[in-house]
Structure 1
Amino acid sequence: MGPHEGLLHLKEYDIKDSNVEQIGNDIDHRVKYASAATEPAWDDGIVGKEVGLFIWRIEDFIVVGWPNDKAGEFHEGDSYIILHSYKVGEGEHQKLQHEIYFWLGSKTTQDEAGTAAYKTVELDEFLKGATQHREIQQAPSDAFLTLFPQLKILGGGVKSGFTHVEEAAPQGVTTLLRIFKLSTAIMVVEVELTWKSLDDGDVFVLDSGQKIWVWQGGSCSPMEKAKAAQVVHEMTLAKHIDVEVISQLESRSQILVGLLGGQDVQQRHFQCARPVSSIRAKRPSKLLRFSDASGSLLLDVVKDGQSIKQHDLESKNVFLLDIAGSVWVWKGKQASQGEKATWLRAAQMYIKQLQDFPDSYFTPLASVTEGSESSAFLRAVEVS
């Protein structure tokens, strides 16, 4: 390979023009840590010192604690930060390890998404090192899914006042939830109020205002049925109304189709793509090295289609690994501060250049630091 072959020029980043020479040096770290240490959201004497799951939502640029009883419940119009702190090692070698996820709803604002990303970096400074993950609502990573026994994604958000009803919704109908198994989690997702949202393979819960209907798709699983029963139980605790469970195989199931505007629909089978997917684009493994030596940030292709191992990673560099449907950035301890600081923007630019894979935008992104690699990263490298 020639000296300039395999180089991806990310012209959006010019180190000199962007004035990031001081990013990541000792002064920069002290300034960021001082700011992070005064953030009320995690300056409580518990965050960073105890194991647990901590969740915050971004509200008008402010990090606001999310109630414990709503863990796993998110709104598509919002952005959230989730911290998972757990212990690794044994005895005197045991230590607390942290993974930070910033979750972006499909309808979150750019300001909220940017604030979540910025505050994630700040929380990383506060914790003095953590694995960072960017999560997209439509395609959560397996690591994120394992944090919750169920994920509930509702419409609305802080900006909309949690308004769930669409203007064109059938009269009297308020909410339609789709329930399905995704990887290790059961998903409960609010979907569009139309019969076109129905699918033979899943369970749907319709709140018509006066009655709750449970529509069981002809090929849904017992697990999905059980989760629907739990969801309905929670709904009836809030308001005592009648519940009717019907199977798609029953003629009476047409009533629900009619309530969703399909009074004249005669079809017996329904198919609608799931709003959340764990399917990853199958791309060849790729290893790239960051370099800002020229003044602009470049990505140098080191391996393309070959197996990637830990010994391929060098302490003096930052590497991007495209493996197992995810993109990881590994930051060597001796890498330049500019290379470490621009990991997220560089990873996003790499994703944008994957034109042959239209769903690449949903690829999970994460960064790890040498010596503090997460178990998910180590598993990904092992099987690459």
Structure 2
Amino acid sequence: MPSTTRTKVVSSDPTDLYSMRFAPVPYIPTDYNDNSPYKKSVEDVTEETRYILEEFIIERATEDGVDMGLVKPIIDVDLSALPQYRQIQQIAHRLRMIGDELDADQRIKSMVDQVPINSPYETFSDVAKELFCDGIYNWGRIVTLFYFTYKLILKSLRDQPSSILHVLVEWTVRFVKEIVAPWIVCKGGWLVVLRDAVPQSRLTTIGIFLNDHLLGNAVQHREVQGNESERFLSYFKSRGGVTYRQGGIASGFHRHQSTNEPRLFHLKGRHTVRLFEMPAIDWSYISRGDVYLLDLNEVIFIWNGSKSNKYERLQAMHRAKQLRDERGKTNIVIIEDGEEMKMSKDELKLFESKLSLKDKKLNLNETIDDNDDDTRSDGAHIKLYKCSDESGTLKVTEKKVGPLVKSDLESEDAYIVDNGAHGIWVWVGRRSNPKERREAMRNALGFLQKKGYPKMTKVCRVIDGAEPMEFIALFKTWLDSNAQKGLGKTYTKGHIAKMVSSQFDVTTMHLHPQLAAATQMPDDGSGKKEIYRIEQFKMIPYPETMHGIFFSGDSFVIQYTYNDQQNSYTLIYFWLGHHSSLDEQGAAAIGAVELDKKMNGTATIIRVVQDKEPLHFMAMFHGHMIIFKHGKRSGFRNLQYYDENNSENDDTYLLQVRGLSKYDTKAVQVNI
């Protein structure tokens, strides 16, 4: 990107920004790599940083519905007039995609909101230094720096004069020049971010930086693929376990596109299933000691190794049935090792089209993996280390070799519980200083290398007073001050507790935000609704008699208002039917943003796709939600879907009803 003269902003028309925001994703070039012939200097990267940061701010502000008149003082260059604007837009768009994922975490948003704005430079300096204090550089951390700058700008718009806005940009650019720019130069310049951004860097940033520096009161779990903790795996039991698919790393932050290609899965786990997709369908990836699923979409073959255990065979059958139920037209064929010829001719022909029996003897992997993913530690060699900063220098000293008791932990310090290859735990006392909290986690990670433990060893950081049961189980005795003593309070025959009704209490959700987050239910859906349907790219009020009736060829915008004991809140859903056109979907998104602007940006905007409706969305219609086929003729690309008023199937249709209560029930039209 050549150097250019900086000029004053010519245009900041919000309508142009909206069209930019909802336009299709720009073309992303793929011919840039670390060996790129483009040579950049620190000065070049610094100048590009300013332009990219300003474009990043414009896109984020537009997405959040911020008044562009307030943002004008920040942008002192007409970016669209620059010859390299196309590249700037592409890079900023990629960074904004990563920033959007950060913004989706409400816990992180809450943390950032608590950063004091009365000392912005000190806060910014501490955050920036903390991000790169370990000497590790990646695009995820750079995006987090941009994200944090943008959040400080939003906070300044509310609390401080606008003169500080430009200063925040200058601080960011200066920090990049002095600390990060040399790394960007070595990578080949900013263009490399278009193919080099890796999601893992973002997760590292969230876990260590935001938690430790801003609040430090959350429980942190470090999970490694294939060696996840039981707690992590338990979250996916209802979905049949965890499935590991090939790819994903080189694709950056692009969404996974499902395909119908045949796949070979290796099943592991006696209690919680894990499916590992094999790199290819070949006998060399199959062992007699395990169970495999050959998924051909129409048929799922379960191949049971002759030395596999009965528990994994049972889990394979359950997983195959779940896949069959999801698809509806899939057959299941069970094959025992050595009995492949007992299949029918059609089944054998289909199986051999992917796994020829002639190659079995030659390529079958005879190695048997005896590792049990449900093993337990006896805790015989557990060790406790104390992290202390009393002398001004952080020291990690061994305090005790198990068994451990709760009294070994003091709230003034941080501790590392070393359980060997079964896991490393960091316990942070509520009165420990920030340095001890940060360095305790870093020292735990250092244990993995120093002690020679496997890289997949689990690492968890817990807080004094919020210890999970897995941590408490490592101690011989653990008595809380509020723990029940003896039998507790008992009841005689004449004083049995009364039965109470289980009516939904809206205030419960406001008093317990964790429960609301887990159930995705801010209230019981009895608030006020205003529904609009997109017709000819405009929001047309939807008759109240039609509330709850949707069409797969349409897009809808729903403004929902509810109250707690003190305040009023608004949610804006925009619902996208499977067969609605892209232009209608864009109009729905713009309409949702416009409604939010009318409310001064106080509403929460939620994108909902047909068949992926959250629990609260269905609860708004109290069990009367119906999705019909077809829709209004309004989009340029959905002319094949005719108006529901002219449907040939108005008189006769078949509805599939799902749900167990008025909070999760809906009906969907299916083919007769």
Q: TM-score, normalised by structure 1?
A: 0.59
Q: Which amino acid aligns with 1:313?
A: L
Residue in 1 that maps onto 2:358: 263
Q: By percentage of residues, which structure has more helix?
A: 2
Alignment partner, residue 66 of structure 2: none
Q: CA deviation at 1:198?
A: 1.8
- Tell me the equivalent position of 1:117: 204
Q: Distance in 2 between matches of 1:179 and 1:313?
A: 41
Report percent identity of matched pairs. Answer: 21
Match of 2:320 in 1: 232
Aligned equivalents of 1:201, 1:294: Cα separation in 2: 55
Residue 319 of structure 1 is matched in structure 2 by: 415
Q: 2:105 aligns with which of 41, 44, 50?
A: 41
**Are positions 1:306 and 2:402 aligned together?**
yes
- Deviation, structure 1 residue 253: 8.1
Take 2:477 and 2:398, find their aligned partners in 1: how far apart are those partners? Answer: 20
Of 388, 394, 397, which aligns to 1:297?
394
Task: Identify if the C-alpha distance between structure 1 residues 137 and 280 changes in structure 2 by more than 3 Å, giving closer, same or farther.
Answer: farther
**CA distance in structure 1 between the partners assigned to 2:231 and 2:338 by the alignment:** 36
Q: What's the offset of the Cα at 1:243?
A: 4.4
Question: Is 1:137 the counterpart of 2:225 in the alignment?
Answer: yes
Deviations 1:317-356 (A, max 9, x none): 111011372211111122121111233221111121113x
1:328–1:365 Cα contact (<8 Å) kept: yes
**Does the 8 A contact of 2:284 with 2:365 survive in 1?**
no
1:3 alignment counterpart: none
* Equivalent in the alignment of 2:334: 245
Q: Which amino acid aligns with 1:263?
A: K
- Unmatched segments (≥5 aa) in structure 2: 1-98, 111-139, 145-195, 479-672
Amino acid at match of 1:175: R
* Superposition deviation, residue 263 in structure 1: 3.0
Conserved 8 A contact 2:283-2:359: no
Helix, strand or coil: the match of 1:155? coil
Quick one: distance in 1 between partners of 2:357 and 2:477? 48
CA contact (8 A) 1:140 1:364 kept: yes
Deviation at 1:204? 1.0
Amino acid at match of 2:105: A
Give me the whole-angstrom Cα distance separating, in 2, the residues matched to 1:381 and 1:328: 12
- Change in Cα spacing, 1:330 to 1:209, as seen in structure 2 (3 Å) is closer
Q: Distance in 1 between matches of 2:214 and 2:321?
A: 41
Q: One-letter code of the match for 1:119? A: I
SS at match of 2:223: strand
| Aligned mate of 2:425, from 319, 328, 332 | 328
Larger relative strand fraction:
1
Distance verdict in 2 for CA 1:228–1:246, change over 3 Å: same
Q: Point out the structure with max Rg over C-alpha.
A: 2
Contact 1:61-1:111 within 8 A present in 2 as well: no
For 1:232 and 1:114, locate their aligned partners in 2 and report how far apart those are by CA, in whole Å: 34
What are structure 1's unaligned runs of at least 5 residues?
1-34, 47-57, 63-108, 166-171
**Counterpart-to-counterpart distance in 1, 2:404 and 2:440:** 19
Displaced runs of 4 or more, over 6 A: 43-46, 123-128, 280-283
Partners of 1:309 and 1:381 within 8 A in 2: yes
Residue 366 of structure 2 aligns to which amino acid in structure 1? Answer: F
The Cα of 1:284 is off from its aligned counterpart by 2.0
Q: Distance in 1 between matches of 2:215 and 2:468?
A: 15
CA-to-partner distance for each residue in 1:164-194, whole Å, 9 max, x for gaps? 99xxxxxx97311122324x41222212323
Q: Deviations over 1:104-155 (max 9, x none)?
A: xxxxx99422321332353688987332111111211232233332222222
Q: How many Å apart are 1:362 and its aligned residue?
A: 1.8
Structure number with the bigger relative contact order (C-alpha 8 A, sep ≥ 6) is 1
Partner AA of 2:430 in structure 1: K
Query: Quick one: distance in 2 between partners of 1:364 and 1:129?
Result: 20
Whether the 8 Å CA contact 2:212–2:438 is kept in 1: the answer is: no
CA contact (8 A) 1:247 1:253 kept: no
Question: Distance between the aligned counterparts of 1:177 and 1:191, measured in 2?
Answer: 6
CA RMSD of aligned residues (A): 4.3
Q: CA deviation at 1:205?
A: 1.0
Q: 1:345 to 1:309 in 2, by over 3 A?
A: same
From the superposition, tell whether residues 116 and 278 of structure 1 become closer, same or farther in structure 2 (CA, over 3 Å). farther
- Residue 462 (structure 2) pairs with residue 368 (structure 1): yes
Amino acid at match of 1:335: S
Residues 173 and 39 of structure 1: is their aligned pair in 2 closer, same or farther, counting only changes over 3 Å? closer
Contact 1:61/1:112 (8 A) holds in 2: no
* Residue-pair matches, total: 280
